[in-house]
């Protein structure tokens, strides 16, 4: 059994988790942050970030996460690269089990984020951040006067295409079906825009060119005929949805219909003393700055909660 009970355990080491650690650290709550096997979350996989406040020349994603981590540590946050495997929110203190041990906490902040659904290609690992993106809002400005492809057929894909047309010379939506799944109003906007074109009944079989280390095109396969063809482009945006990282919390906490953690009164969950923030809650904005803001909110909420409990 754990000998120590922490005031706060934060699960997840992205912008939300590091910000929550910073604020709870400054509140003298001595938080423990378990940052998982991918410290920094999705930003650790990106290159230049130009839309995070305070960096007029931009900043590398991993560098930004490292700065956030060091700032939290400066104020006393204990940060461990450990992956949580199980939780028990039905007892108090709460129990958080990891790959290397077990921890107790009076309160918990969940900041495990969400993972973009990918195409499942080996070339994605090489080209992510090198012409391949999962965030049009984050990376669209890098593709001025370039040809881009958006993969998907739902509202997210159409929204991305409508956003990217501000920068790109051409935007092509590639969809595996012969019609979009997006809402009618979104479909109408895309269909009427001369800068957006469509390739129907097609999937991406491969991304070109891994050997060059940058996206130069795609290999498309017709799902009806099996015919393949190469299409030149400068960038590919995958917009087939996100998966919230909530599998370990099923049965322990309320989730919404999409699997995201349900919150009320800002960051409170249905379990008294358990709070959630960032992309594990937010399936609308999905930005580093909004995740960081929610991390601040959760930290302030948990500080007030512990104060009420006499901690």
Beta-carbon contacts of residue 122 (< 8 Å; ≥ 6 apart):
210
Q: Round to whole Å and give the CA distance between 151 and 173.
A: 6
CATH number for the domain that contains residue 104? 3.50.50.60
Residue 147 pairs with which residues in a beta bridge? Answer: 170
Instruction: Tell whether the torsion through CA atoms of 144, 145, 146 and 147 is positive or negative.
Output: positive
* Same structural domain, 266 and 303: yes
- Among residues 82, 138, 277, 279, the one annotated as catalytic is 138
Q: Round to whole Å and give the CA distance between 99 and 307.
A: 31
Domain end point (choices 238, 257, 280): 238
- Among residues 82, 135, 234, 282, the one annotated as catalytic is 135
* Same structural domain, 13 and 78: yes
* Same structural domain, 158 and 101: no
Q: How many domains does the chain have?
A: 2
User: How much is the pTM?
Assistant: 0.82
* Same structural domain, 131 and 221: yes
Which of 107, 18, 111, 93 lies closest to 304 in space, CA to CA? 107
Is residue 139 flagged as an active site residue?
A: yes
> pLDDT in tens for each of the 311 residues of the chain?
566 899 999 999 899 999 999 999 999 999 999 998 777 777 776 767 888 999 999 898 889 999 999 999 999 999 999 999 999 999 999 999 998 889 999 999 999 999 888 999 999 989 998 999 998 988 999 999 999 999 999 988 998 999 999 999 999 999 999 999 888 998 999 999 999 999 999 999 999 999 889 999 999 999 999 999 999 999 999 999 889 999 999 999 999 999 999 999 999 999 999 999 999 999 888 889 999 999 999 999 999 999 998 87
The whole domain housing 72 covers: 5-115+243-308
* Same structural domain, 72 and 129: no
Domain end point (choices 238, 255, 287): 238
* Same structural domain, 247 and 294: yes
Domain end point (choices 180, 215, 238): 238
- Among residues 66, 82, 122, 139, the one annotated as catalytic is 139
């Amino acid at each position: 059994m754990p000998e120590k009970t922490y005031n706060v355990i934060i699960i997840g080491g992205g912008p939300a988790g590091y910000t929550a650690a910073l604020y709870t650290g400054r509140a003298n709550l001595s938080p423990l942050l378990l940052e998982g096997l991918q410290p920094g979350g999705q930003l650790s996989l990106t290159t230049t970030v130009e839309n995070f406040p305070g960096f007029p020349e931009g900043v590398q994603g991993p560098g930004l996460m490292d700065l956030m981590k060091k700032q939290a540590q400066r104020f006393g946050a204990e940060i461990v690269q450990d992956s949580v495997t199980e939780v028990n929110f039905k007892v108090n203190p709460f129990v958080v089990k990891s790959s290397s041990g077990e921890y107790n906490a009076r309160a918990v902040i969940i900041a495990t984020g969400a993972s973009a659904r990918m195409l499942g290609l080996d070339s994605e690992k090489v080209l992510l951040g090198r012409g391949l993106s999962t965030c049009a809002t984050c990376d669209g400005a890098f593709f001025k006067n370039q040809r881009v492809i958006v993969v998907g057929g739902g509202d997210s894909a159409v929204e991305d295409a409508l956003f990217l047309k501000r920068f790109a010379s051409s935007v092509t939506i590639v969809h595996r079906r012969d019609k979009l799944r997006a809402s009618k109003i979104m479909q109408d906007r895309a269909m009427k825009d001369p800068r957006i074109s469509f390739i129907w009944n097609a999937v991406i079989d491969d991304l070109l060119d891994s050997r060059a280390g940058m996206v130069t095109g795609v290999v498309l396969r017709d799902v009806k005929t099996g015919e393949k063809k190469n299409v030149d482009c400068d960038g590919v945006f995958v917009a087939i949805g996100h998966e919230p990282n909530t599998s370990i919390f099923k049965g322990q906490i309320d989730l919404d219909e999409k699997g995201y953690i349900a919150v009320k009164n800002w960051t409170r969950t249905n379990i008294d003393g358990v709070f959630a923030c960032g992309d594990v809650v937010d399936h609308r904005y999905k930005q580093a700055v909004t995740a960081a803001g929610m991390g601040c909110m959760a930290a302030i909420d948990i500080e007030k909660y512990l104060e009420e409990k006499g901690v």
